[in-house]
Amino acid sequence: MQWLEAIWTREGKGIPKDAPKKTGLALALDILAREWWELVKLNLLFLLACLPLVTLPAATFATARICHRMVQDQNVYLLRDFLEALRDGVLRATLWALVSGAGLVLGIYAIVTYGAEARSALVYAVPLTVSLVATTFFAVASTYFMMFSVAGPIRLASCVRKAALAALLRPLPVLAALAIVAILWLAHVAFYPVSVFMPAAINFSFGMFAIAFGAHGALASGLAATGEDF
């Protein structure tokens, strides 16, 4: 049974020390080429961890931490690190899910409401625009909050402040990552039933990898500014 244990506990592939550093899309593709099988296993771990449903926020944070470490080229022992992250992130992840869920529901409700009214009265275009901008900003800030939370031990207030600042200064990389997440799910719907196994195999982990990669730059500058290790 040691071979079965090794699938989940062995260290992932690294990169040669003398290899030139890659950036941007080339770096993302290079990491995916090394870690694609670990991401498939991570996707399965996420689904198993979400079976009780109440563990969904903690499982999301655990998946985000693993993806962050992959982007950082840190050693990842998949099962051990996932379970540790699952345990460590329960409280903050649950709080994040409640606040983010409530904020997004209110924002979407405002967009739908003002959008319907704007069809008959142009004056509602102003609150519609404000609702769109505020909801987008909240979604990006919420995503950054998750990534700052899993990047290291940061106080809650500091994490909120860093997430809001990152969303204000660097929204585009996370918006692009969220667009990739949307594309994955649209592909699942568009090519169903051929794509029936996409959620079980790649959608969650590959989508989270895109988010971790998109947030990487802001995390590096945000944590370095306060001298925190990430």
pLDDT tens digits, 62-100: 999 999 999 998 889 999 999 999 999 899 999 999 999
pLDDT digits (tens, 9 = 90+) for 163-185: 999 999 999 999 999 999 999 99
Across all residues in the chain, what is the average pLDDT? 88
Asked whether residue 111 carries a pLDDT value surpassing 70, the answer given is yes
Distance from C-alpha of 13 to C-alpha of 205, rounded to nearest angstrom: 17
Distance from C-alpha of 50 to C-alpha of 44, rounded to nearest angstrom: 10
Distance from C-alpha of 183 to C-alpha of 60, rounded to nearest angstrom: 19
* pLDDT value for 230: 41
Question: pTM (2 decimals)?
Answer: 0.86
* pLDDT value for 229: 43
* pLDDT value for 90: 93
Structure tokens at 10: 């062995």
Q: Is there a contact between 44 and 7 (Cβ–Cβ < 8 Å)?
A: no
Alpha helices in 89-155 (DSSP H): 90-118, 125-151
Asked whether residue 8 carries a pLDDT value surpassing 80, the answer given is no
Asked whether residue 223 carries a pLDDT value surpassing 90, the answer given is no
* pLDDT value for 24: 78
| Backbone phi and psi for residue 52, each to the nearest 5 degrees, phi listed first | -75, -5
- Residue 222 vs residue 205, higher pLDDT: 205
For 54, the 3-state DSSP assignment is: coil
Distance from C-alpha of 39 to C-alpha of 209, rounded to nearest angstrom: 8
Which residues, in sequence order, are bridge partners of residue 11?
77
Per-residue pLDDT band at 17 (split at 50, 70, 90): low
* pLDDT value for 217: 87
Structure tokens at 138: 């909240």
